[in-house]
Amino acid sequence: MLDYTAPSTVEEAIRILAEAPGTAKVLSGGTDLLVQLRSGRTKPDLIVDIKKIPGMSGIRERDGAFVIGAATPGAVIGECEALKRVWPGVVEAANLIGSTQVQGRASLAGNLCNASPAADSVPALIAARATCVVVGANGRREVPVESIPTGPGRTSLKPGEFIVEFHLPKRPARSADAYLRFIPRTEMDIAVVGAGVSVTLDPGGACTDARVVLGAVAPTAILVPDAAAALIGHTLDETVLAALDQAARRACKPIDDKRGTIEYRTKVAGVMARRAAVIAHERAGVRR
């Protein structure tokens, strides 16, 4: 017996979720949830649609920082020119999720809370030091995106909690990000490996800050501090990129599956990290 409700405020949603007698699922874009409902993988008693709550969909810029509503569809993210200028890697990652049709619905909160190790937007958000605002009966907390997924299909959200928005920080000059994913075709597939890189450069082009994150090579997206350390203090020459490649490969703990073997994923992770770093570096060089 499934029921559906679409509260119009965050407080109402929190109360409904806290008082729900059985299993409740929060619905944003639904592009994962509806597939799971149909397959029987999830059998909730109640669906709480958060899209009628003001602010859940849309992007706001505040003093150079961005707030993205939890249920903002990928298509809307892709059309936000200001966001694309400052966070091109986050936008390209969000826009890689599914087809044009899926982009019309799929959201960052859904991509994160579905907790697939191969979720495209997650490495880019972590590389960007994005945080998310989690609400529930015990109040409101802002946490780093990387603290949410704990394993395939599992998150650190407590029962009744949900994400209301994502925050992307203000960017220093000469900063940019990039996300690359490897799939054996050009569209409509799930990442074999994903790599998100964010850098800030000094006027000479050396990295003063870097974040390197890999997807689909461990139970969750992984931040790789050793790979970032390989970049910091350097411009990108072959020695630096080789060190980045090495560090990225060392961090991989992938599985063998139909998309790729452990050995293959590990090698590709190094290549994707290198290429994403080169793109982020180029973008940062032209961004003042």
Residue numbers of the site for another protein (CB under 8 A)?
1-4, 6, 27, 30-31, 34-35, 37-38, 47, 49, 51, 73, 75, 98-102, 104-105, 186-188
d(CA 217, CA 253): 6
Minimum CB distance to another protein, residue 57 (Å)? 11
Q: Is 145 helix (H, G, I), strand (E, B) or coil?
A: helix
Structure tokens at 124: 């880019």
For another protein, the closer CB: 187 or 237: 187
For another protein, the closer CB: 27 or 126: 27
Q: Is 69 helix (H, G, I), strand (E, B) or coil?
A: strand
Could you tell me whether strands 46-49 and 3-5 are parallel, antiparallel, or unpaired per DSSP bridges? parallel
Residue with tokens 């990387």: 146
For another protein, the closer CB: 11 or 45: 45
For another protein, the closer CB: 84 or 267: 84
Minimum CB distance to another protein, residue 201 (Å)? 31
- SS3 of 190-226: CCCEEEEEEEEECCCCCEEEEEEEEECCCCCCEECHH
On whether the CB atoms of residues 126 and 146 are closer than 8 A, the answer is yes
Minimum CB distance to another protein, residue 234 (Å)? 35
Q: How many residues does the chain have?
A: 288
On whether the CB atoms of residues 153 and 257 are closer than 8 A, the answer is no
Minimum CB distance to another protein, residue 56 (Å)? 13
Minimum CB distance to another protein, residue 23 (Å)? 14
For another protein, the closer CB: 7 or 104: 104
